[in-house]
Amino acid sequence: MMYNFKQQASQAFGANQRALASGEWALFCGDINQDGVVDGLDFNDWESDNNNFSAGYFSADLNGDDIVDGLDFCCGRRIAMLLWAWWRHRGDANTNSTQNT
């Protein structure tokens, strides 16, 4: 069964999507412990589920294949790097804009 989540936020449970610049909607992941931050504490939860060979619907299953394993860690690591780059760029932009005012 195919389902298109890209049309609107309400198509995912809990409206768990964000709008992209293209007008499409995308699911996001990485905040495994759901504290509002993607950080090392999320790794702890991933590691616990990975060591327990967790299978099924788990927040640590970042790639959605129903298994918590090393592929999720790779996905989570990429998400963390992208977020770091975004925050760094945002900080640089904010710093430059305040210096020019």
Q: Is residue 12 part of a domain?
A: no
Task: Give the domain range for residue 38.
Answer: 30-99
CA 70 distance to own-chain centroid: 16
Does 23 reside within a domain?
no
Please state the domain count of the chain.
1
Q: Which CATH number do you get for residue 54?
A: 1.10.1330
Q: How far is CA 8 from the centre of its chain?
A: 18
Q: Above 60 in pLDDT, residue 101?
A: no
CA-angle at 35, arms to 33 and 39, nearest 5°: 75
- 45-85 residue pLDDT tens: 988 999 999 998 888 888 888 999 988 888 767 777 666 66
